[in-house]
Structure 1
Amino acid sequence: MNSPTPLPETPTLTVAPLSADAHAEFLAAHPTASFLQNPRWPEVKSGWRGESLGVFADDRLVAATLVLHRPLPVPSAVPLVGGRTLAYLAEGPVLDADDVDLPAVLTALTERLRRDGAFLVRMGLPGVRRRWAAGDVRRALAAGEHRMLTELEPLTVDDDAEAVREELTALGWQAPGESEEFEAGQPQFQARIPLVDDDGAGLDAEAVLARMDQTSRRQTRKSTRSELTISVGGEEDLPTWQELYEETAERDGFTGRPLSYFQRMHRALNAADDTECTLYFAHLDQTLLAAAIFVRQGRFAWYVYGASAAQERKRYAPRALQLRQIEDALAAGCRWYDLGGLSPSLDPEHELAGLTRFKTTMGADVVQTQGEWDFEISPLLAKAFRLYMARR
């Protein structure tokens, strides 16, 4: 009788710090990883301490993540709570292959973070659960017959992503809720313009323009005939950006970021390999009409911030800058151009409906990500921290 073939042993996973160079090299092999996982990102985030961690199966690096630590607002000498931190994994961890055991990776990471003093781990695991076509969302928003985006038939569903949610729940992670407002951290629902076709072949600018609704396409084409000058600025031009950005914030009623934030972002991301942070301006003669900040890492591009003047609106300067960013993303071989978060509400009277309308008329499909999950190492401290943040 033949002896049974022994089953392969499950490799022991260990967690160890990664150097910035080793982390960047790992991300280079994962071209759609978020710039929020870039090891230089902690240079941008004041009030947070960053570290890169690798998960190893024997000697093979199978996952990596940037962790941002935010301490509790108490002196470090206070017993039991001093030095305890929120550990935040934005768009991480990034796994090296489909066969990597996610529960084992997360168990190893949370145990390491527990030993390091984390009271709560918040994770925005990469991945898309569902995707809705731009045109379907536009029509549903106009009709006003549905309350939430999730009531619509999606264009695609990732069954593996649904299985991941079951695994996370079994491990004790708390799923994010669905809110009509923007959540803290990274929005669960995001607008993304595909830059490749269903077979993965790159599109051209005309194909991307064809995704827009008639009005957006007409305005974008008109912007190219509006005698605008499009230029790229450097770090020394950020004060000019800031002036227009603050004007936009005051007019539109939002709280903007300080100049120092954009200076750190521009400096840090442009110092990273295969990552760029670009400042664009649109002028009419000597008058600045619009500005935008664009980030690209690997094969993913993001429209991160925009600003515009109140005058000469019919020149459609922001449209011109959107087109320029799309063209540059296409030239870099990007697969997606991300326009940021939006509300899943389909109420045409909702205060964020205009944002959804704008982004989908630009041809952006809507994706539902995994959202941000919480793992409570100390439920009492986690509850106290949430109450503190809610009252700020």
Structure 2
Amino acid sequence: MTTHHRPRIFAPESAGLRLEPIGADLHAAFLRRPGTHTASFLQTPAWARVKTGWRAESLGWFDGAGRLLGTALVLYRQLPGVRRFFAYLPEGPGVDWADPQLERWLDPLLDHLRGTGAFAVRMGPPLAYRRWSARTLKDAAGPGRRVGDILPDLVEPLGAAVADRLRESGWRRCGEEGQGTGVPPRRSSGGAQPRLVFEVSLAGRGLDDLWTGLNQEWRRNIKKAGKSGVRTAVEGPQTLPAFHDLLRVTERRDGFDLGRDLGYYQRQYAELNAEQPGRMRLYTARHEGELLAAHTFLTAPDGNRVWYQTGASADHRREVRPSNALQWRMLCDALLAGAAVYDMRGVPDDLDPAARAHGLLRWKLGTGGEAVETVGEWELPLQGAVNKALHRAMHAYLTRR
């Protein structure tokens, strides 16, 4: 089993916590502070400037001594025709989820959101729920099988406990039917963020450990890329248009559409790096000078986690294996930078080798990491008949789209 990193327990000394808006500078500085929880890039103030069409607010929880103990980035989307808002905390909030009195954190948040005119809230506690090793899933592959059908190698006690407590408090997991204690992850989690992700543990490992953790196919492909003359590099924002062109090629080939224009990636690159230089990088693989693959690399504010966010590759010269070379470079750079986890983001749950979606999961399994089901995203309509009616109307509209 790999080493897992749990959120730090903040252990506030006073029973009461005060929630109030905070400035972006204080918010960003708190997230960079060693020893706090590792925040997702989706919970940084810079992300608010990437997301057009949303109003954003940074919030902070303070104890009786005035110490900042937790933060949240809240995105607000106005419901057409009314002055009511849907509140969204992507992969947040960053609070002490292990606190036995979780309501000390969540009740002030709900009161604040109600006061802003929010009719409902969605949040994504940054916690793991179940884990499957690459070996377990490789051995389990077969016709009609899915990750959620397989007994996990580990059920995270904190994730399971938080899911139960949220459900008891009236929250409902996005995409979940019924009142059960869990559902198998599906390609559509019901939330905006992937519920099934893939992680490679870096803590306590060296480059030799990373190399031996790869399967034979990955090692062979990386060697082939080197012998073929594939060159990897970190390039600047001037390469983003070429990256986006490759992304369109990838979408057509693999049958998906992220729906993100070039401006989205240009904003992301500019805003994340303005808040913290080097937070977003664009890695490229070229063969004889031609761009064959480009992947985005994001670093958590405290440096403890790195994300491979988006990958793009050409249709031709795939035999020189540019994507394997690129991922190996990114894995090594993440390790050398001191990150504990390399997060490859979402994977499909298909274990059927004949399924088209299985290819992406199979490719990531080759790194020797593990599939991680998070606790998912949760929604709650705020108190009041009007709020509940608006929440039902929103879901009815989304279902019809």
* TM-score with structure 2 setting the length: 0.87
Q: Give yes or no for the alignment of 1:220 onto 2:191.
A: no
What SS does structure 2 have at the residue aligned with 1:33?
A: coil
2:91–2:126 contact (8 Å) kept in structure 1: yes
User: Structure 1 residues 39 and 218, CA, compared in 2 at 3 Å: closer, same or farther?
Assistant: same
Q: Deviations 1:203-224 (Å, cap 9, x if unpaired)? A: 1233122222211221122222
What SS does structure 1 have at the residue aligned with 2:295?
A: strand
Return the alpha-carbon distance in structure 2 between the equivalents of residues 250 and 148 of structure 1: 25
Aligned residue pair count: 371
Return the alpha-carbon distance in structure 2 between the equivalents of residues 345 and 229 of structure 1: 33
1:190–1:367 contact (8 Å) kept in structure 2: yes
1:93–1:125 contact (8 Å) kept in structure 2: yes
Return the alpha-carbon distance in structure 1 between the equivalents of residues 165 and 285 of structure 2: 48
2:19–2:60 contact (8 Å) kept in structure 1: yes
Q: Deviations 1:26-56 (Å, cap 9, x if unpaired)? A: 2123363211111110111111111111122
User: Structure 1 residues 153 and 315, CA, compared in 2 at 3 Å: closer, same or farther?
Assistant: same
User: CA offset at residue 165 of structure 1?
Assistant: 1.7
Residue of structure 2 aligned with 1:25, choices 24, 29, 36: 29
Unaligned runs of 5+ in 1: 1-7, 75-81
Return the alpha-carbon distance in structure 2 between the equivalents of residues 97 and 167 of structure 1: 10
Q: Deviations 1:218-257 (Å, cap 9, x if unpaired)? A: 1122222221222222112211212222222223232241
Return the alpha-carbon distance in structure 2 between the equivalents of residues 65 and 18 of structure 1: 10
Q: 1:55-94 maps to which residues of 2 (within 5 A)? A: 55-58=61-64, 59-74=66-81, 82-94=82-94
Return the alpha-carbon distance in structure 2 between the equivalents of residues 9 and 306 of structure 1: 44
Q: Give yes or no for the alignment of 1:317 onto 2:322.
A: yes
User: Structure 1 residues 9 and 339, CA, compared in 2 at 3 Å: closer, same or farther?
Assistant: closer
User: Structure 1 residues 207 and 166, CA, compared in 2 at 3 Å: closer, same or farther?
Assistant: same
User: CA offset at residue 314 of structure 1?
Assistant: 1.4
Q: Give yes or no for the alignment of 1:389 onto 2:395.
A: no
User: CA offset at residue 98 of structure 1?
Assistant: 4.6
After TM superposition, the runs of 4+ consecutive aligned structure 1 residues lying more than 4 A away are 96-100
Return the alpha-carbon distance in structure 2 between the equivalents of residues 87 and 322 of structure 1: 35
Amino acid of the structure 2 residue aligned with 1:28: R
Query: Match of 1:277?
Result: 280
Using the TM superposition, name which of 98-107 and 233-242 deviates more.
98-107
Amino acid of the structure 2 residue aligned with 1:188: R
Structure with higher Rg: it is: 1
Query: Match of 1:330?
Result: 335
1:132–1:154 contact (8 Å) kept in structure 2: yes
1:280–1:292 contact (8 Å) kept in structure 2: yes
User: CA offset at residue 263 of structure 1?
Assistant: 0.2
User: CA offset at residue 325 of structure 1?
Assistant: 0.7
Query: Match of 2:60?
Result: 54
User: CA offset at residue 266 of structure 1?
Assistant: 0.3
Amino acid of the structure 2 residue aligned with 1:330: L
1:130–1:158 contact (8 Å) kept in structure 2: yes
Residue of structure 1 aligned with 2:157, choices 135, 156, 159: 159
Using the TM superposition, name which of 322-331 and 22-31 deviates more.
22-31
Query: Match of 2:289?
Result: 286
1:103–1:171 contact (8 Å) kept in structure 2: no
User: CA offset at residue 265 of structure 1?
Assistant: 0.5
User: Structure 1 residues 263 and 182, CA, compared in 2 at 3 Å: closer, same or farther?
Assistant: same
Residue of structure 2 aligned with 1:370, choices 368, 375, 388: 375
Identity, % of aligned positions: 39
Query: Match of 1:77?
Result: none
Residue of structure 1 aligned with 2:388, choices 358, 379, 386: 379
User: Structure 1 residues 98 and 147, CA, compared in 2 at 3 Å: closer, same or farther?
Assistant: same
Query: Match of 1:111?
Result: 111
User: Structure 1 residues 249 and 151, CA, compared in 2 at 3 Å: closer, same or farther?
Assistant: closer
2:13–2:63 contact (8 Å) kept in structure 1: no
Residue of structure 1 aligned with 2:233, choices 210, 214, 231: 231
Q: Deviations 1:59-94 (Å, cap 9, x if unpaired)? A: 2322211111111122xxxxxxx2211111111111
Query: Match of 2:256?
Result: 254
Provide the alpha-carbon RMSD of the alignment.
Answer: 2.1
1:87–1:122 contact (8 Å) kept in structure 2: yes
Return the alpha-carbon distance in structure 2 between the equivalents of residues 369 and 111 of structure 1: 26
1:205–1:326 contact (8 Å) kept in structure 2: no
User: CA offset at residue 132 of structure 1?
Assistant: 1.1
Amino acid of the structure 1 residue aligned with 2:111: E
Using the TM superposition, name which of 162-171 and 34-43 deviates more.
162-171
Return the alpha-carbon distance in structure 1 between the equivalents of residues 289 and 225 of structure 2: 17
Return the alpha-carbon distance in structure 2 between the equivalents of residues 216 and 86 of structure 1: 44
Q: 1:160-175 maps to which residues of 2 (within 5 A)? A: 160-175=158-173
* TM-score with structure 1 setting the length: 0.89
Query: Match of 2:312?
Result: 307
Query: Match of 1:4?
Result: none
User: CA offset at residue 11 of structure 1?
Assistant: 2.8
2:98–2:158 contact (8 Å) kept in structure 1: no
1:279–1:291 contact (8 Å) kept in structure 2: yes
User: CA offset at residue 14 of structure 1?
Assistant: 2.0
1:247–1:309 contact (8 Å) kept in structure 2: yes
Return the alpha-carbon distance in structure 2 between the equivalents of residues 218 and 9 of structure 1: 54
User: CA offset at residue 364 of structure 1?
Assistant: 2.5
Return the alpha-carbon distance in structure 2 between the equivalents of residues 99 and 252 of structure 1: 43
Unaligned runs of 5+ in 2: 1-11, 177-182
What SS does structure 1 have at the residue aligned with 2:121?
A: strand
Residue of structure 1 aligned with 2:266, choices 247, 263, 268: 263
Amino acid of the structure 2 residue aligned with 1:239: P
